[in-house]
Chains A and B, each alone.
Chain A
Amino acid sequence: MGIATFCVLMVSLLLVGVSSLFVMNIEILLGSIENKNELVLFLKDSVTEEMLPDAQKQISALPNIASVKYYPKEEALENYIAQMKEYEEVFDSIRDDNPLPNAFNISIADTSKMTDTVKALNAFDFTEKVKAPTEFAQILTRLRKVVFITSIALLTALIIVSLIMISNSTRASVYARRREINIMKYVGATNSFIRMPFFFEGLFTGFVSGVGAYVVTYYGYTTLMDIITNNIAFWETIGVSEPLPFSQIKYTMLAIYLCIGAVIGALGSVISTTKHLQV
């Protein structure tokens, strides 16, 4: 196994790694969109301030509730007025007779269970109305499913392609040693004995390629992130969190590269020896 095998394996691993990073970032993007996804529970006018702690407690006790924050009608009006500054004078007249209801801003843990949560919230005596973007939540849930399935399919395909590439690439080195393999068979070597050196060679090449791919990914990704994070305004505009910092996943990435590299290297070598073992 030589430089060619190392390069082929490194490129294959890079494809797997870059795809994984892409999928992870998409997940983060969807997650941050999901976090913006709040429900608003409007309280009945009959609900007094004394009743609020108990109401908040009841809401928090429901499954799938991440956080509950009281949103008084005064704050709601101020926010509303702030958004429509040019009509401030019009709203001034209703400051003393605020028509908006008191409310709770509720974040949920799992968007896919939003419908059930809304149903449970509507069942409370103090609930006037629940405003929930259920359609958007459904779209988001479907999108996550598609991203998940696509990423699994993509990674599986890439791993299979890598395996084929590495198996083809090691075939030449195995072919060069076919005479040795052939003689080994005639003198009574078991298949596992013959495969052993190829297995370890593949394992080692995979391991080294994994380290190589990690180094390339590290420099590539951090450079790209430097460019992107310098443009903070962009992320604020689209209202999502920044991309995944490499420091957060460096060990995961290293483990992925080393494991996949070693497995593909070893397996690819073993597959290419099989043909020559039929003696």
Chain B
Amino acid sequence: MVDLKNVCVAYNKGHNVINGIDIHIDDGDFTFIVGASGAGKSTLIKLLLKEVDACDGTVMVNGFNLRTLKKSRVPKFRRTIGVVFQDFRLIPSMTVYENIAFVLRVINAPRSYIKKRVSYVIGLVGLQDKMKSYPNELSGGEQQRVALARALVNDPKLLIADEPTGNVDPELSQEIVGLLKAINQCGTTVVMVTHEHELVKHFGGRLININQGTVIYDDVIDGDAETETSDETI
């Protein structure tokens, strides 16, 4: 669950990048966040990951109050979140299996569990035959699927995807969002930041449009052949 109330974020005093935002995302929701460059999307993601701190308001994520959360508790909080980045951020020296297993090693999971869980998520993203490949041997879409598997491996309550389709072609983009939708249907809350309006229109769902650090649109839109009124808003 994400609950932001009257949140402000400022990198320099006097200039708010996020300006009094109110967003509530329930468990199990799928939410698209869109907005032009510099609208505050990335800052919002950083805020949800406790990479930046709010200067005002309330920030509750997965039951953690991020405004009062101590530094020493940040790792515990982050273990409840999965993150997918536009640039995949895979470790080139590790195989697909190792890139994913590494997340569970970080939290000291037992070896037998790591083996079982990693195999499962690799199957989920359809990369069973690429387990021993290195990132540079994979296509963009495959790399993003590895990143997705890595984000899912510790069974997060919330999955944050920051422009996950930014580095892949339109066909693969649909495949990746399709995967995210499937993950969401299994109960994981998904927040996807994107600037690809076509994708949003195609899949539909809750849409939050941010402009100059404030929410200018927040509603549910239907997928594909939906009304033109929502297109204009986007």
Contact A185 B78 (CB under 8 A): yes
Contact B76 A183 (CB under 8 A): no
B154 at the interface (CB under 8 A from A): yes
B89 at the interface (CB under 8 A from A): yes
From A183, A190, A279, B91 is in contact (CB under 8 Å) with: A183
Point out the residues of chain A lying under 8 angstroms from B232, CB to CB: none
From A179, A182, A187, A279, B106 is in contact (CB under 8 Å) with: A187
Q: Complex: how many Å from CA A263 to CA B103?
A: 30
Question: B92's closest neighbor in chain A, by CB?
Answer: A179
Contact B83 A188 (CB under 8 A): no
How far apart are B44's CB and chain A's nearest CB, in angstroms? 16
How far apart are B76's CB and chain A's nearest CB, in angstroms? 7
Q: Categorize the interface residue count of chain B.
A: 10 to 19
Chain B 45-68 residues near chain A, CB threshold 8 A = 49, 51
Question: A180's closest neighbor in chain B, by CB?
Answer: B91
Point out the residues of chain B lying under 8 angstroms from A219, CB to CB: none
Please judge, given known A-B contacts A179-B89, A180-B91, whether A187 and B79 are in contact too, CB under 8 Å.
yes
Question: A182's closest neighbor in chain B, by CB?
Answer: B89
Question: B82's closest neighbor in chain A, by CB?
Answer: A187
Contact B51 A189 (CB under 8 A): no
Contact A188 B106 (CB under 8 A): yes
Point out the residues of chain B lying under 8 angstroms from A187, CB to CB: 78-79, 83, 102-103, 106-107, 150, 154
Q: How many chain A residues touch B (Cβ–Cβ < 8 Å)?
A: 13
Q: Complex: how many Å from CA A6 to CA B39?
A: 48
Q: Complex: how many Å from CA A179 to CA B49?
A: 17
How far apart are B6's CB and chain A's nearest CB, in angstroms? 26
Chain A 202-257 residues near chain B, CB threshold 8 A = none
How far apart are B78's CB and chain A's nearest CB, in angstroms? 4
From B51, B89, B106, A193 is in contact (CB under 8 Å) with: B106
Question: B78's closest neighbor in chain A, by CB?
Answer: A188
Point out the residues of chain A lying under 8 angstroms from B51, CB to CB: 279
Binary interface encoding of chain A residues 173-195 relative to chain B, with 1 for a CB under 8 A from any of its CBs, else 0: 00000011011111111100100
Question: A190's closest neighbor in chain B, by CB?
Answer: B75
Instruction: Name B residues whose Cβ lies closer than 8 Å to a Cβ of A.
Output: 49, 51, 75-79, 83, 89, 91, 102-103, 106-107, 150, 154
Instruction: Name A residues whose Cβ lies closer than 8 Å to a Cβ of B.
Output: 179-180, 182-190, 193, 279
11 contacts between A and B (CB under 8 A): A183-B89, A184-B102, A186-B49, A187-B103, A187-B107, A187-B150, A188-B76, A188-B78, A188-B79, A188-B107, A279-B51
A-B pairs, top 4 by smallest CB distance, nearest first, are A188-B79, A188-B78, A189-B106, A188-B75
